[in-house]
Structure formats: structure tokens, C-alpha cells
Amino acid sequence: MVLVLLVGSFGPTAAQAKLPGGPVWLPPYGLGIDPGPMAVTLLLIGAMAIGMAGLLVGLRALNRGWRPDVRRLTRIGTALTVLMILVGPMGSTDVLIYAGYGRLAATGRSPYVDTVRELINSGDPIGLANGGIRWVDTTSVYGPITTWLQTLAAWIGNGSVHTTVFVMTALGAVAYLITGVLLRRLAGDDHLRQARVALLWTINPILLFIAVNSGHADTWGIVFAVAALVSLSRRHWILTGVLVAAACAVKITFGIYVLALVIVLRRLPKKLALVIVSGLLTGAICYLIVGPEAIRSTLLAGTKYASASPWRWPLYPLSDLIGLAPGVRVIVIVGWLSMLVFGWLFYRLLVPPGSRTVEGRPITAAVEESGDPLAAMLPVITALGIGWVLTSAYTLPWYDVVAWAPVALLLGGLTDQRADGARSTDPSGARLVDRVLVIRTGASVIGYLPGAAYYFPPAVQLLTDVARNVMAPAVSWALMILVVLAVLRRRRVGRQTGRP
């Protein structure tokens, strides 16, 4: 985090876009130093590599019995969250396009119909700050709540890119802190879960970079999704539906929580109906307010592919056969099918047949009995979340918050019932899931560094091309193969020993 703050304190660089407009006393601050694209890129790659290593070491220590002072870690994480918004957003220029969408709405236009190109043509300062960004001709793919928050930031900013961006990152930091509070509440008195929340969320250096400093909308959505988990744990079915719909009204990708709820509550049709109906009503109200064009524009997000996706490799040979557009449609469909397959595989790693919850009941019966429905929800949403971000045709590093929040809670409370009656945390599958998520997110972040400059010197361009187009897909393929082998090995061992 020191390295991230160091690079952020330089001011506009290859990692950080210019934020004109002032005032100078308002964060983010910068020294006006640019050491060059290569230095900035290497420093941030080093920061993310150290962050990955630190998380893996911390997880290993927790598995070996380390029980840190959670309150101390929470205080440190809170301080780091604040520091992350005192320097400019890095690793992405999405905050600029957010500001553009907000400016469109604040000036009486619709970001679902109009584009930031209109702001550029009219000489609007926020539009001009978006010059050279690829999304200026694209309507918003975000939900109504995101648009309202962007509009609020643009209204406060009143034409200042600097102020508008700071308001958005500040809102994200608040959402991140609230999410941490909710996760700690869900962790209860389980000190291992509390420690995992502190390590995997509160002081997670990768998330602090991509979710707080970079200012992505996913940070606004996850607070509603985790609030829905709190509501689910208290069996407030209508409120659960409302909160999940609010998460989807931030970004449609949180629909994965809807799928998880359908899977978990499928044997309780009345409860599921309450969740679905309340969610549909909430979503309908949100989209009626912003207009039906928002639905069409939002659904366009599912028709693209990302350079770091594992399906990028087979796309181009496929495109030679059937064309680029049909090829993209094929890998998008394959990505969704792969999510279901790997979601099932991850679920088998987390919850082998016969595994039990902390309460000693079969985890698949946690909802049907009088127990906490959260016990059944957590492994499902974790498995689907990691399966999706690992195999989708279009996922970016900040999408991974979908999985990071539930994984922090699940593994500390999942136990196996041993033959002697004692309980112990599941050592193999759970730890593999931890490592997969750390490596997937870290490698994906590195693949999209430095993130702000539009043109790089040849050496920097080569480095970023290799990281994004070769290293990141290769890591995803390696992790997918590792997961398949791990599940096959566990099944083989189960057959040999006669128990899961």
C-alpha cells in the first residue's frame, strides 16, 4: 500500500488521468511528478505482487492458528481506505466516463440515450477530460442507482472534473467501509471469520486499490449485496429481494446473487416468491424512473469480451472461421456455461458430500430446517462468483468484489465432522479456493496496469500487452485446470477411503 500511495502521490502519470478543475485544497492531491510510464507500471506491478504474496502468507498463517488483533487490523484498514482517496484514481479511467454520464444526467440529458461525445462536441470540461477514452461513444451500461450517484457527484462538482471524481471515490470509500461493517456483523463471534474479514476485505491491498482508489461502481453494488446477506440471515425475505434488486440496479452483474438465491431457496417456493416479487417491483420502479432505454443499454454489457479473458485465445481462430461478431457471441455463451460448470466444481471443493455446517447440520438442509439460511447461501454465491470471474468472456479485476465478500465469511465457518466427533476447518478445498481468488484477481489487476495513459512507449506497450494478452489468460487457464484436477483428486480419494 505504501507503493500504491507513492505512485498516487506523483499526480497525473501513465497510471493516473488528469483531473482538472480544482479546488487545490480538495483531494485528490499530487506533487506534479512523472517518473515515466515504465517506472510507474513496474512500481504498481510490484505493489500488486507484494499484495498477493501478503494475502497468501496471511491466509497460511490463519490456517496455522494465527489469530491477529482484529480491531487493530480494522483501524489500519479504515485509515488505508481514507488514504486511498487522498491520491488520484489509478489503474483505470472509468471514473472519467462515470463523471461524463453524471454530467449528461445533471444537464438534463440521458446517459442511456446520449453519449459523452456530445459533451466533448459542446466543449464541456468534463467531456473534454474524456478525450481519447474508448467509451465516449457508448451509452451507459450501468443501472439507475449508479446513474443517480454519478448525477449527484456531477451536480456537486458543477463542471469540475476534480471535484466530481473525488465525490465518486469518496462515496465508494464509504460503501467499502460499510461493507466491512456488515461483513464483521455477519462474522459474529467467530474469531477466525472476523480475522478473515479483516484480512480479505478490510486491509486487502488489492481490493483497496481496485475497489476504493480506482473508484469503480462495483463498490457501490457490493454494499447492497452484503446487506442482502444480512437480511437473509435474519429471514427478512422481502427486504432481501429489495436489497438484491438495489445491487442489480447499480450493476447488472450482481444478478449472480439472484441466481444464488434461486438455487438456495428453490425448495422453499413461498420464500423464493417473496424475494423475487419484491426484487422485481424494486427493479421495475428504478428502471421506470430512468426510462425503458436503460434496460436496452444495460443489456449491451453482456455482448463484449475482455482482453484478459481466457476465451480471448480461442476467439481469434474462431473468428477466422465464422467472423468476429459471431465468434464473440459464441465465447460469451461458452463463458456463461463455464460459470455453471466451474460454479459446481468450486461448490464441490467447498462443500463435499456429507460436509456439515458449524451447527452440525447438513449444509444443504440449512434453509429447510430452522437454521440460518446464510449457511446455505455463502458456499453457493462464493462458488458462482469465483466461477464467473474466472471463466467469463468479459470480467475485469474490479468485478471480483462479487466473490471477495462472501469468501471472507464462508471458509472460517465451514467445518468437517470427523470420526472422533471433533470439528476442524476443511483444509484442502477451502484453501485452494482462497488461493485461486487471490491469484486470479492479482494477475488480472497486473494485466490492466498502468491504466490511464492512452499511448505508451514501445517497451511499456510490450510489457502491458504480454501481461494482459498472454499472462492473464494463461493464469486463468492454469487455475481452471488446477480446479478440475483438485475435484477429480478429491473424488478419487473419497472412493478409496469410503468417505468424502
223-249 per-position pLDDT tens digit: 999 999 999 999 999 999 999 999 999
Cα–Cα distances in angstroms (integers) from residue 447 to residues 37, 91, 179, 288, 314, in the given order: 15, 10, 27, 38, 18
Specify the number of domains making up the chain.
Answer: 1
The confidence score (pLDDT) of residue 497 equals 66
Q: 29-49 as b/e, with b when 16 or more CB fall inside 10 Å?
A: ebeeeeeebebbbbbbbebbe
Please give the average per-residue pLDDT across 206-214, as a whole number: 97
The average confidence (pLDDT) of the chain is: 89
The confidence score (pLDDT) of residue 420 equals 41
Angle between helices 429-447 and 472-497 (to 10 degrees): 170
- Does the structure show a pLDDT above 70 at 422? no
Task: Return the number of other C-beta atoms located less than 10 Å from residue 115's C-beta.
Answer: 22
Q: What is the pLDDT of residues 146-204, one digit of tens each?
A: 999 999 999 999 999 999 999 999 999 999 999 999 999 999 888 999 999 999 999 99
Q: What is the pLDDT of residues 330-376, one digit of tens each?
A: 999 999 999 999 999 999 998 866 554 444 444 445 455 445 789 89
The confidence score (pLDDT) of residue 213 equals 97
For residue 198, the SS3 value is helix
Distance CA 13, CA 280 (A): 44
In which domain, by residue range, is 413 found? 2-497
- Does the structure show a pLDDT above 70 at 432? yes
Q: What is the pLDDT of residues 243-272, one digit of tens each?
A: 999 999 999 999 999 999 999 999 999 999
Q: Are 228 and 206 in contact, with CB atoms under 8 Å apart?
A: no
pTM of the model: 0.92
- Does the structure show a pLDDT above 90 at 305? no
